[in-house]
Structure 1
Amino acid sequence: MMEEDNFSPEERAAIYRCIRERRDVRRNFLPDPVPPDVLARVLAAGHAAPSVGFLQPWNFIVIRESATKEALHAAFTRANAEAAAMFEGERAELYRSLKLEGLREAPLLLCVTCERERAGPVVLGRTHQSEMDIYSTVCAVENIWLAARAENLGVGWVSILALADLHRILAIPDPIVPIALLCMGYVDHFAHKPDLERTGWRKRLALDDLVFEERFGEREKTPVSG
């Protein structure tokens, strides 16, 4: 490997910091617009994601208009009421207290889609796992999320919406699958812990409990965290 291909310790530390401090942001968006050059860099990061068969199945819908945001918020409100009814007791009460979207507050929304038929019926790498194009698009979402964090932009993934509403509101043709609706914008601060951990919805799982050796369920002889 050429020495110039290596990351310096400082560059490596920055990447790990970006991963560690990425947050799912739903609140505290500032009204400042996202500059075009910053958005271009973030979208380029998404477009640089790995894709099976070099399919590059993604498209990016940039949303700024208030009317579109209001329509998406109305769809979220309907879906969120349905979701709240699925929980009971204290869990339902906690659910209703959570801030789960920032569709109206964020200056910019981004919908990432997957065009499953882009490369035809037979695609290298999808011959036995047809969903790999979906997973590739999710890699683009993660690239966008990390690039946005490096640009000091908050991003929140809003998944409590019916796909039919996304198709209708954003005029997405039926063969194309909406993968992620993201809120994006500058924020006044990034939380030290994920919101759902901070509010007590779930705790972070221990890495050592999730790593197996050779076969599922067989523990590593040496804990990965120590």
Structure 2
Amino acid sequence: MTSTNGGCPRVIRVLVADDQEAVRRSVRRILEAQPDIEVVGEAVDGLAALELAAALRPDVALVDIRMPRLDGLEVTRRLSGSVRVVVLTTFDLDEYVYPALQHGAAGFLLKRSGPSLLAEAVRAAANGESLISPSVTVRLLKHVTAPRRPARSAAPVVALTEREVEIAGHVAAGRTNADIAAELFISAGTVKTHVASIQRKLGVANRVGIAVHAWEVGYPVPQ
């Protein structure tokens, strides 16, 4: 979604769905401060989100879990396949995280995650990637992989380089490309290239797949 057309970067079109006006206003302010993101609509409940998504055809929908008329999980399920959905919520309970991901969410962010992570989640979703709040990622992956870790998963078809193993560990810790770049003193673009290479070698679709593999095989995961 960040490719160019005639020399001009494409703007990511976002729909914000939340029943609290203050939240919608805050999210709009954060996203519209970014040169490559535009908020094209706001929905006050789940049904309105579906209607606006059909009319506006946004690239990404930021959807709250708890909304009147239709909750965020059902909105995510119905939009999956046509719009990339990032669930934005106050609650990081497993009863929300797992169904959201199962219904096709491209990301799961807590509202306290901060402006930079919010913008990065939108960009990741628009580019076909997934981003989950770091605090949620670590707990989620420990829970998902714990029963299987002693068995150790099979090695990738193509071995990861030492740098790729290091970056995979950072992904498993829930860190963003910007975080990893700062930690390793490389550019965010270089991190993105490594992440794409890791996904290809592991045969996984997104960052969550990288993180699951890292936890399963015991890669070093920074605390």
Same fold (TM over 0.5): no
Higher relative contact order by CA 8 Å / sep ≥ 6: 1 or 2?
A: 1
Q: When you count helix as a share of all residues, which structure comes out higher?
A: 2
Instruction: Answer with 1 or 2: which has the greater Rg.
Output: 1
User: TM-score when scaled to structure 2?
Assistant: 0.24
User: TM-score when scaled to structure 1?
Assistant: 0.24
